[in-house]
Amino acid sequence: MTLIAIDNHLGVFAAIMTLAGLSFLLERTRLGAQLTGTVMVILAAIAAANAGLIPHSAPAYGFIFSYIVPMLIPLFLFQADLRRLWREASRTSIAFLIAAAGTVAGVMVAAALLDLSSLGVNSPLPASEREAAVVGLFASTYIGGSVNYAALGEMTGLNQDRSFFSAATAADNLFSAVYLSIIALLPGIAGISRFFRTHPKNPEPTQALAEPAAVTAQSLCLAITAAAGLVAVSDALVAGLGLDGWRYVILTTLTLLLATLFPGIRIWLAGAFELGVALSFAFFAAIAAGADLAAMISVAPMLIAVVLILLTVHLALLLVLGAVSRLTLPELLTASNAAILGATTAPAMAAAKGWKDQVTPGVLVGVMGYALGTFVGSALFKLW
């Protein structure tokens, strides 16, 4: 028995959106800014479900997983013009590819040292496939972000183990915040900075991002229309070509083609990215509501070990290969931030550190991460 009944579909959905909205507000506080809104919404949903305020499972959650989650990919990728990425952020793009390689190496080392098949036991996957699923899941989120995490969770079936999925998300975001603090300090450590090329003291900013287009009712409606249409076309191709399991790869490919061939689409669909961020909070609240607190705590030590190994290898490989490639620390750290935390924090850190020429590349390579995350995570899962 819960305060909001399982069959009160609108009530459950309203509760999930309320938790998402409150998390955005709490993100403005000092504690909320450190934890991030994603962690806040996860913790709030876990608390609400385990306190009996909202159900652990409900048809309203199924609606979010089935219809909202697939639309997140196009909403995030409508601004992913690949030609613009190379033109305005070529050196930072190379740094990002090194960062992505560090993530892949990190998750492979973690898989070699730990028994990842013990995770996700309540998913439909047999033990022999769980390790591959966990590898793909963590690779996708530490190259892209929440949208890739959601895609790999559905593709592998790991999202059906709500306790594991919620715990993994919380560990991911908590340690990402710690990682951000660490990389922000690295440029001031002489023992590290002397191995890298000197970054210009007063760098000229790259071509500034165009003035943001006005978000209107029309642009939001068109964004939803385009996202839903791309999901429908992708599902039709999957069914027609018999490509089960490749839904998100096809959806990502179609969206990238559209964004690159018609770069003006990011103006026509102004507000799509922000809408995607808002809906991703609803997704995390829905997945966290299914978590049993005791089960979640039981997998926490293993998840902490996975994240610590992954981030340590990622950073070590980033610095070694970055120094060999003659890239500067600001380029490498902006790219690493974009991979681990996403397209919103990378430009913010660059601006705060005075790296004016890395603000625009930080946004662009963050968007590239959303594009690459699903491809890399899917490939690792299929090949493992």
Phi, psi of 277 (to 5 degrees): -60, -45
Phi, psi of 328 (to 5 degrees): -90, 160
Name the percent of the chain lying above pLDDT 70: 96
Q: What is the DSSP string of 261-300?
A: H-TTHHHHTTTHHHHHHHHHHHHHHHHHHT--HHHHHHHH
pLDDT of residue 203: 58
Residue of higher predicted confidence among 226 and 202? 226
pLDDT tens digit string along 295-330?
778 888 999 999 999 999 999 999 999 999 999 999
How far is residue 67's CA from residue 65's CA, in Å, rounded to a whole number?
Answer: 6
Structure tokens given for 381: 């899962």
- pLDDT above 90 (res 262): yes
Question: Where are the domains positioned within the chain?
Answer: 82-192+215-279+296-383
Q: Would you say 374 and 144 are in contact if contact means Cβ atoms under 8 Å apart?
A: yes
Length of the chain: 384
How far is residue 35's CA from residue 174's CA, in Å, rounded to a whole number?
Answer: 6
pLDDT of residue 283: 86
pLDDT tens digit string along 42-94?
889 989 998 999 998 899 998 998 899 889 889 988 988 888 777 777 899 99
